[in-house]
Chain A
Amino acid sequence: MHSAAGLELVRRAKEGDEVAFTSLLRPLLEPAYRLAFGMLQDRALAEDAVQEAALKAWRKIHQLREGFQISPWFYGIVANECRMSRRNPWWSLVKTAAPAGSSVAPDASSAERIDLRRALKELPLQQRLVVVMYFYLDVPLEEIAGITGVSFAAARGRFYRAIEHLRSALGPEEAEA
């Protein structure tokens, strides 16, 4: 947010104005939740990640550099929370206890979507992050590079490696669709 009003909100948030901060944050919560869900594929964990990210952002708002947009900065914190959530050992236990889903056999398109979600889960975290942001949140690669703290070329490299994985996962007939 580079408008004069946006800059003013950031300035006030840095001074401890929680109303200004929450005004900045509110429009970012839905995409942040989508990002977290795409990364974790677990609604409860995604909510936790966004909640924790929001609190961390509030504590660290003074670190937001002059002239930088808040959205990529906040998404970077959310992505980091997702990474930490994945590292946390209890995550595996939660996943084990999660219900398997409907007992009705899925139709073909549902099965494809399940396959795709599974393929997404199997991507390395950094690649998954790029894929989720690019395809699910429509964030351009230049911005993803900024969010993930890597060069544009590195983000692009991750993106194309992930695409190759996903194309394999979808099978040749679908990749050519």
Chain B
Amino acid sequence: MNTEPFLRNRIKKALDEAIGDLPDLAPSIEHRIHSRSRGRFPVAAQLAATLAILFGGIILLFSLHHSSVGTPNVVTSPATTQLTPDSTPCALPVEVTGTFQNPGQNPDISTTLGFVNIPAGTFRVDPNATVQDLPGSDPLGPRMYSAQLKRWLPASSQTISPDGRFYAYTKLLPEGATYSSFSSSEVHVVDVPEKIDHRVWSYAGSIDLIGWSSAGILAGTVPPKGGVRLLWRIDPGGRGASQAPNNADPTSLNPALFGGGSYGYLGGDASGRAIVRFGSRDRGTHYTVFVVESGKPTVIYSGTAGDATDFDPGGVSFDARGIWFGNDDGTRVWLWSTSSKLQSFKVSGLPATPQRYVHTYVTIGAVGACVPGQFVGVPASAPPPAPTPSPSPVPPRVDWSALTAKPLNLQPLASGGVCPVSAKVDLQVKASVGKWPNYGFGQGPIYASGQFMWYSGGPQGFLILTDPKYRGPVLVRSQRLNGAGSLTFIGDGTTALPSGAVGIAQTSSPPYWGTWVGSVTPSTPGCYAIQFDGTNVSDVVVIAVTKGPPPPG
């Protein structure tokens, strides 16, 4: 993106101008840590553990008593179930977003609107899905399907009226204004069947729409110069607005409801239900997804990110059957209700992954109520492949025998030895095209890059960045240091050599860095060394490969 350097420079200047002198926080922090940690380990820990065991029963009894007199009761959902065959079929409107990228390039993002037929899980594209004919349509804005109106709208579940006939959007004034030039904002309500756009409220500042219920449109406002955010209930009929209390915002929940901590708001509906997630999507992290209704949280699912259930909820929608979820890895959709619990539907027929991309990522979001019946539509087609760089460089011919004759200096680890993982180094990679990571592993001039963590469960992107001070060919060899195992490197412009080695003929082109893009697939978890050999350079990079599949993306 050609505005990146400009923005980076401006943001740094803007924040540096305001931040002033940097405080020396270390002394006070160290003092506070010191004063809190006297006797912390190990005696205090043992004492705390003993006390915890002694008082655990008392606390448990207190908790049970406390919950019986009014504390929100968290209901746990059991394991997932499959939909019974006699369930009424329906078509769930979804937005399928594919993000495809090669390192150093801007991503290509494709969005497809269609339906997933339930229970079969087949995805079909809606060829008539368009919102361009409606006011407030924003290419980056939300999309949803209205079953009542039998069409797609430039709206979300937060901005559509409870009866589904109207939607709201905001507009900056004067016409064509941006956030740096606007003087006021307006809330508009569109009567979709009549195609009439009503201005219902204005404010001398910015407006964000939070929800629409029978009580009106809930919006937040911020004055143009910043300051206190206020909440308003706007009459969709244009009869003004009244200030709403701070606790009216359904996206701002009291974390104490769930035992404290931060949460992510996944969506809500007009009746005030909110879906929240505690715990990150970081693989291995314990997380819980709740639905909060009338201040009462109910557990929809509790598990470990990346576990076999694969509940990775994305876009949320609500209907009489329950709460629908997309999945952030694009493999399935979900339905949850208090009676049937969490049901999973494997999705098929999604757009095929386009060719020549290193990173591909597809998400599904539920964007409306499931419509009775099955949707025919059209099958999804694959997005176009990544463009081939032009002109394509012709790699020089290399006699690899001189490099393969170099000794392999990879010493096995002693039994139980710690893997001597290479430290990350900061780089300033300047290539002829694109933006590249500013880090690498190794001593240089040849660096491994592209990931911070490595996984055994499949291929993952791998970059070899070559400082322009070396411009010759590079031989890549590897070996597991703590047992049997291998790394397999695949990428454009490589020459396969014996013993799993690969040769890269074309590296840097001074003054530009060499940027080889490929993938690495470890055969097993463990500690691996990668040796890079050039005509007059040699370096070893050590990586630790963790068990499990690489995270999506």
Contacts and interface: CB of A to CB of B under 8 A. Distances in A.
Interface string B1-35: 10110111011111101111011011011101110
A138 B225 CA distance: 28
Contact of A54 (B17, B33, B451): B33
B385 interface: no
Given A55-B36, A92-B229, A16 B42 contact: yes
B281 A150 contact: yes
A43 B109 CA distance: 38
A138 B363 CA distance: 27
Interface stretch (B112-120, B334-342, B391-399, B414-422): B414-422
A153 B361 contact: yes
Contact of A136 (B12, B222, B552): B12
B107 to A, nearest CB: 6
Interface stretch (B148-156, B174-182, B469-477, B494-502): B174-182
B424 interface: yes
B228 A43 contact: no
Max chain A CB contacts within 10 Å: which of B42, B101, B282, B438? Answer: B282
A37 B23 contact: no
Given A18-B33, A146-B452, A168-B178, A131 B11 contact: yes
Max chain A CB contacts within 10 Å: which of B12, B438, B553? Answer: B553
B262 A84 contact: yes
Contacts of A43: 19-20, 23
Given A152-B553, A157-B99, A121 B226 contact: yes
Nearest to A30: B22
B37 A58 contact: yes
A66 B181 CA distance: 49
A17 to B, nearest CB: 8
Interface string A125-141: 00000011001101010
Contacts of A176: 3
Given A34-B19, A47-B23, A2 B33 contact: no
A4 B544 CA distance: 13
B302 interface: no
A115 B225 CA distance: 9
A169 interface: yes
A177 B422 contact: no
Interface residues of A, number: 87
B196 interface: no
Interface in A101-137: 110, 112-122, 131-132, 135-136
Interface in B453-497: 453
Contacts, number: 209
Contacts of A163: 1, 3-4, 7
B216 interface: no
Nearest to B37: A18
A64 interface: no
A15 B37 CA distance: 12
B328 interface: yes
A175 B206 CA distance: 21
Interface string A50-91: 110011001000000101010000000000100110010100
Contact of B180 (A50, A65, A160, A171): A171
B221 to A, nearest CB: 11
B214 interface: no
A171 B228 contact: no
Contacts of B552: 151-153
A170 B4 CA distance: 13
Nearest to B107: A156
Interface in B288-340: 328
15 contacts: A7-B418, A30-B22, A67-B453, A93-B228, A113-B18, A115-B179, A119-B179, A122-B179, A151-B328, A152-B361, A156-B107, A160-B107, A163-B3, A169-B179, A169-B180
Given A92-B229, A154-B553, 17 more contacts: A16-B37, A22-B33, A37-B18, A51-B25, A51-B29, A83-B262, A96-B227, A113-B18, A115-B180, A116-B180, A143-B452, A149-B282, A157-B97, A160-B109, A163-B3, A163-B4, A175-B6
Interface of A: 1-4, 6-7, 15-16, 18, 21-22, 25-26, 29-30, 33-34, 37-38, 41, 43, 47, 50-51, 54-55, 58, 65, 67, 69, 80, 83-84, 87, 89, 92-93, 95-96, 100, 110, 112-122, 131-132, 135-136, 138, 140, 142-143, 145-146, 148-154, 156-157, 160-161, 163-172, 174-177
Lowest 8 A-B CB distances belong to which pairs? Answer: A149-B280, A16-B41, A152-B553, A153-B361, A169-B179, A113-B14, A115-B180, A153-B553
